[in-house]
Structures are given as structure tokens and as C-alpha cells.
Amino acid sequence: MNDEFIVKIPEHTPEDTPAALLEESATAETPRASAAPQESETKRAVTVVGAVTLVLMFVASAGFTASYLYAASSTAPVAQLPSSPEAAAAAVPSPNPFDALDLQAEGIYVLDTTSNTVLFQRNANAQLPLASITKVAMALSVSEVLSPNDIITIPYDTAPPGSVERLAKGEVWKESDVMTFTLVASSNAGADILAAAADNGLHQKYPRSPASGATLWRMNDLARQLHLTNTFFLNDNGLDISTTQAGAYGSAHDIATLMAYAASTSLPIFEGTSRDGFLFTSINGSTTHAYNTDEALSSIPGLVMGKTGYTDLAGGNLAVVFDVAGHRVVAVVLHSTFDGRFDDMKKLVATTEQVLGSNAAR
């Protein structure tokens, strides 16, 4: 959408959200061992001589047709990551300096997207809670139908009065400011407001989506489109739904794919996440701050974008994209500790600089 418009959001309070999210979770995509794309069937008229020849030609033709139709049906460019960590492991030099690192995270993936080389991985396909890294998929989905200059009237307070990081009920903001505030401060209420603002537009764009919850539907649709086979979303902000149910799940490998896709196709949405903080001024003159939740920020030279995440179930998560020695690198740590995610990332970034810097000097 290129023209400015005013987004009307039904007024509700954050207390209304859990029930709605639980209702959505009943229809949300569930984890699967594999996610084979649905393919169209094509009728062919084939004239052959001999039954054996007919069978062989049909099998070969069907395989080619299915591959062609699937490629044609995918509307979003997919980051060309290795198909699996195991397949890419042979590209890592030995001995690997990453192996000596003492890291707390359960799931780790470090990819040099420039050379398509996996520098390091640990349990890269383990399905783990994502926490606020979920907001990357939310931002990508919302931005399909909301433009930076669109106007959003805040339907409820995102934090109690007196809070430094707060959007107040009735304030009028540009969409771009609400988006940056949400990503930098990792505001859960901000994510809910953006998702609600985009629901109608996304439902119109994707008629198969539910009228209520189209943003969440598109987030899962995007995961399918990018072949994130270990990833699914039950809400738009990543908050735990209960003491045993996270709001989203994914793997380090999947999140690396998602981050590479975001950086290559939609970087302006996420550029604010590379800065320490912002002072925002609304259209009607109110101000608020947003402080970056990434405490490793100053230790990542060439940072392009990043997203933190933390909940009781997820532990500490962090995903970043950064440039070093002419290479663009994605690094993901999942299920570390609150502070451990930052320590883990600092070590991974420093070792990446060492490896790629020494390669460049050769």
C-alpha cells in the first residue's frame, strides 16, 4: 500500500489477548517432521510405445512438472541457505576455531551468506521456543499491507503511566515509528497493535486467511513459503501462552533463513534494531523512548539488524545479521540464558571476524 490511510483498530485491552490467542492456537499450524509443499497436478497427453517406456516417461515427467509448478507457485524469494546443517558441514575448515568456544545456547547456527558456508552449528534443527524473535515474522507480514507513512491510533496503553517506553491510548503515530518502537524495545503490545492494524488488509490480500487473525495466518504461511519446516507461530509476539506452551517454535537453522530473508528483502523495516535507542515524537506531539534490548550491540561491528527474545520457556535468544571482511553473516543462538545469549553472541562474532579476516588476508 503506497497511499497514506488511517488504520482503525478495534479497542480492546491486553487482558483480552490470551483468550484470543488460545482460540487462534486451535487452528494454528502444528509442528511436522517435514513440510512438503502442496503441488498442482497437471494432465499430460503422452503417446508412447510399450508399457515400460510409458511408466518411465510418466515418472520422469511428473517429477519435472511437480518441481516446476512448485517453483512457479512460490511468490517470495527464498534465501539460498544450505539445505541442511549436515550437508553444509563439509564446507567448514578443520580444525574449526568455533569448536573451542564455551557456549551456553542449545541451538546455534552461524552462516556466511556470501559464500553460503556454515561456519558453525549446534543442534541447528532442534525445535525451540522463539520468544520475541517471533516479531521478525510479524514485521514482515504486517509490512506487506501497511506502509511507513500510514497512521495508527493507539487503542490502549502499551505500558503503565510513567513508563519510559510507552505508547498511550489515543496517541497518533506513523506506522514506521510504531514498528521501530516495537522491534527495538521488543514491545509485545506494540506487536499486537500492528498485527490488528494489518489484519483486514492481509485478509483482503489472502482471502484464504481468517478475517480475524490474518496476520498470524500470514506469519505461518510465510514460514511455509520459506521452507521453515521446524517453525510455527501461535501468536504474533512470541510470549509464552502458558507454563508449558510457548507462543512460537523454530530452529536455529530456520531463524537464520528468516533473518537472511528479512535482511535481503526488507532491511529498511529492521534498520533501527542496529541502534542503541530512539526518541520518538507522535503526530499529536507526545514523545516516548525505545532502548535496544540487545546488550551485545556494541560488540558487533557492522551490525545490520538483530532481534532479541526471552521468556521462561525460551530462555535467552538472539539473532543478528552483520557484515565482516566483505561477507554478510547470520548468527543465531537459541535457549541460552538471559545474559548468556549476549556472551555467546560476542564469542561467535569475534570468532567469525577471526576466521573471515584471516581468510581475506590470504
* Residue 37 domain flag: no
Q: For residue 43, what pLDDT is reported?
A: 35
pLDDT digits (tens, 9 = 90+) for 276-297: 999 999 999 999 999 999 999 9
Residues 25-48, mean pLDDT to the nearest whole number? 36
Residues 50-57, mean pLDDT to the nearest whole number? 39
Residues 34-50, mean pLDDT to the nearest whole number? 36
Same domain, 50 and 150: no
Q: For residue 82, what pLDDT is reported?
A: 55
Contact 344, 103 (CB under 8 A): yes
Q: Residue 116: how many CB atoms within 10 A of its CB?
A: 13
Same domain, 58 and 198: no
Q: Of 40 and 218, which is predicted with more confidence?
A: 218
Q: Of 159 and 20, which is predicted with more confidence?
A: 159
Return the SS3 of 351: helix
Same domain, 66 and 211: no
Q: Of 293 and 13, which is predicted with more confidence?
A: 293
In the chain, % of residues over pLDDT 90: 72
* Residue 120 domain flag: yes
Indicate whether 165 pLDDT > 80: yes
Residues 104-110, mean pLDDT to the nearest whole number? 98
Q: For residue 360, what pLDDT is reported?
A: 57
Task: Strands of the chain (E only): list them.
Answer: 6-7, 107-112, 117-122, 128-129, 151-153, 172-174, 232-233, 248-250, 277-281, 287-291, 303-311, 315-324, 327-336
Same domain, 165 and 62: no
pLDDT digits (tens, 9 = 90+) for 79-92: 555 554 444 444 45
Residues 199-214, mean pLDDT to the nearest whole number? 97
The enclosing domain of 101 has a CATH number of 3.40.710.10
Indicate whether 97 pLDDT > 50: yes
Residue with cell 562474532: 349
Same domain, 100 and 68: no
Indicate whether 249 pLDDT > 60: yes
Residues 143-168, mean pLDDT to the nearest whole number? 97
pLDDT digits (tens, 9 = 90+) for 66-77: 333 333 334 444
Q: For residue 358, what pLDDT is reported?
A: 72
Q: For residue 357, what pLDDT is reported?
A: 81
Residues 119-128, mean pLDDT to the nearest whole number? 98
Same domain, 297 and 148: yes
Same domain, 152 and 264: yes
Contact 294, 306 (CB under 8 A): yes
* Residue 85 domain flag: no
* Residue 300 domain flag: yes
* Residue 59 domain flag: yes
Same domain, 59 and 108: no
* Residue 286 domain flag: yes
Provide the residue range defining the domain that includes 48.
44-73
Residues 253-282, mean pLDDT to the nearest whole number? 98
Residue 335 vs residues 18, 84, 219, 308, 317: alpha-carbon distances, Å: 24, 20, 22, 12, 6
Write the DSSP string, 3-60: S--EEP-----GGGHHHHHHHHHTTSPPP-S--PPP----------SSHHHHHHHHHH
Same domain, 267 and 150: yes
Residues 95-118, mean pLDDT to the nearest whole number? 96
Same domain, 114 and 61: no
Cα dihedral 21, 130, 8, 214 sign: negative
When divided into structural domains, the chain yields a total of 2
Same domain, 136 and 256: yes
Indicate whether 8 pLDDT > 60: no
* Residue 148 domain flag: yes
* Residue 90 domain flag: no
Same domain, 225 and 341: yes
Q: Of 112 and 8, which is predicted with more confidence?
A: 112
Distance CA 161, CA 94 (A): 55
- In the numeric block, which cell numbers belong to residue 96? 574449526
Q: For residue 18, what pLDDT is reported?
A: 40
